[in-house]
Amino acid sequence: MSLVDMVESQMIASVSNEEDLQHALTSNSNIVFLLTGNLMTIANYIQQLHDAGKHVFIHLDFIDGISNSRNAIRYVAEYWKPTGIITTKSNIVKMANEVGLKTIQRIFLLDHAAINKGIEMVKSCQPDAVEILPGIIPKIIDQLSNELDYPIIAGGLITDLSEVHEALQAGALAVSSGDPEMWKFDL
């Protein structure tokens, strides 16, 4: 199943602390980005989210105790069994692709050089989707959705429904937010 086919709600719950996990379990979001956890807790978090019918993407850069090695990625795929991973590192995207995990390449759009470097990275590692931060730049969302053959997820600094609509109208597949109030939107 492609990431595009997984999206039922265009609002993705981005969980950055354990307290928000309960909100994500009951949210309208059917996709959850886990940006918290460690070697001792993450398997339980993933299982709880799977049991609630959620697709789970873990942000490997934020999981305490996990390395960026090929064996670590294989372990994640075989034992934790998330739907996929999120990372800023293109070599991790490539390794995760090899073991059958869905992949989301996260890129930060600081200036034109970062945009060009991000496009280059995405084309070289071929993720299933691209998350761009900050997600409040409809002009850049439009540019990237036209230049890349990958779904775009807008995240970061989005604080209200009008900004969500602007990102979606500019070509984003979905919007990720760390605010549990935003997860209630039925999109």
Domain locations in the chain as residue ranges: 3-184
Q: What is the pLDDT of residue 17?
A: 94
Give the residue carrying structure tokens 């991973």: 85
pLDDT for residue 30 is more than 90: yes
pLDDT tens per residue, range 148-180: 999 999 999 998 999 999 999 999 999 999 999
Give the residue carrying structure tokens 């945009």: 115
- The CATH architecture of the domain made up of 3-184 is Alpha-Beta Barrel (3.20)
Give the residue carrying structure tokens 């996709």: 31
